[in-house]
Homo-oligomer: A and B are copies of this chain.
């Protein structure tokens, strides 16, 4: 508001456009691994550890019927598997297959590589600042762990 003109991009527009950018990069990377964006996201969530359908739905913010389908399709690719929960015969634990785990690692690494390059016009200090500010926004808004933090892996 303080800045003079239409030259300056507000925080809202910056957020929306950077979102568009990351979406595009993410979807493109997924595609090159034979995945959809949603399947890639599923793999990245499951890298941390297996999840029940319930939790998974909360993390991905999907209705249970939507998630059921996503897991079906990803399982059909052999990347993910439903295991029965011994302590509750209704429940199911969704986890990566060995092949899914391998693919997830690759996809995750490649995606990181590409997204890492997006702020290549910033110097180290600026990147740190950006990371810290965005991280606070993410934390304040309780965004679920849709993308691993390094060293978080089980």
**Chain B residues whose C-beta falls within 8 Å of the C-beta of A12 in the assembled complex:** 112, 115-116, 147
| Cα–Cα distance between A130 and B11 once the two chains are bound (Å) | 7
Q: Which of A16, A24, A61, A122 has the most CB of B within 10 A?
A: A16
Which of A70-78, A81-89, A133-141 lies on the face that meets chain B? A133-141
**Chain B residues whose C-beta falls within 8 Å of the C-beta of A148 in the assembled complex:** 13
Q: Per-residue 0/1 for A1-23: is the Cβ within 8 Å of any B Cβ (1 yes, 0 no)?
A: 00001101111111111111111
A149/B13 in contact, CB under 8 A = yes
Q: Taking beta carbons and an 8 Å cutoff, which residues of A are in contact with B?
A: 5-6, 8-24, 26, 61, 111-112, 115-116, 118-122, 126-131, 133-138, 140-141, 143-152
